[in-house]
Structures are given as structure tokens and as C-alpha cells.
Structure 1
Amino acid sequence: MCVAQEATIRSLRDMMVATLGRMIDHLRKSMSVDLDDLTVLILDEADCILERGFKLEIPKLVMLIS
């Protein structure tokens, strides 16, 4: 994980846009993402996520942020 990328993520306050895999990577491997106050999760193009075989990644993400 890039140190500059982590620093940028830490400075964000209101919104984060990331691919499903990258978000899970940040949540598992670094302390750069804090989603304790998350109220809305939007999975853009969820149909494509499901079609490409990431069906099991969605529940993993939800468990990591809850």
C-alpha cells in the first residue's frame, strides 16, 4: 500500500470512492480508512460486481464496515 495514498485517504472526510477490492484491501491491511460513522454504502454497478464473480466480496465488505 502506498504511503501517499494512505495519507490522502486519512484526509478525506465526507466521501470515498474505491473499487470493491481496493476498499477491502484498505480495511484489512491499513488503518487509513475509518468507517465508524458510515451511514450509507453505495456499490456502483453492483450488477457488474456480481457478474464478474465478486459475489462473496460484498458480504465481506459489509462485515468489515459494521
Structure 2
Amino acid sequence: MDHSNPPEREYQAAIILGGASFDELGKALSSPAFQDTAAEQSAHFSAVHAYEVSRTFLKRANGIPLV
């Protein structure tokens, strides 16, 4: 299977935004800092997907978080 796409169909952008609660996430999404990016987002994103995350695991090597 060929997974290569022409440049106009390569989707390689991400915004990761989270909060300690649904209310905190709502505050972040309605904040001026985020809202100021809304017009530019439509110029760069063809789709936006949201996922609820119940747990996050951090992998470490010798006590140092790996990114």
C-alpha cells in the first residue's frame, strides 16, 4: 500500500490543547490567545478533530521525559 500523497494532500499540522477539566478546556478555547488564531487556522487546516483523553502516559529514559 502506498501512503505517499502529493504535497497538497499532506496533512502535517497539529494543535494540542488540554485542560484539567472540561470547563478549563472551554476557558482555553474561548481565551483571546486562542481566539486570535482562529482566522489563521482556517488558512492552514482542512479539518479539525477533537478527542477526549482519559489518561496520558509519559515515557521516560533515565528519569527524563521522552518527547
What TM bracket, shorter-length normalisation?
A: under 0.3
Query: Relative to total residues, which structure has the larger strand share, 1 or 2?
Result: 2
Q: Which has the higher helix share?
A: 1
Q: What is the TM-score normalised by the length of structure 2?
A: 0.24
**Which structure has the larger Rg?**
2
Q: TM-score, normalised by structure 1?
A: 0.25
More relative contact order, 1 or 2 (CA 8 Å, 6+ apart): 1
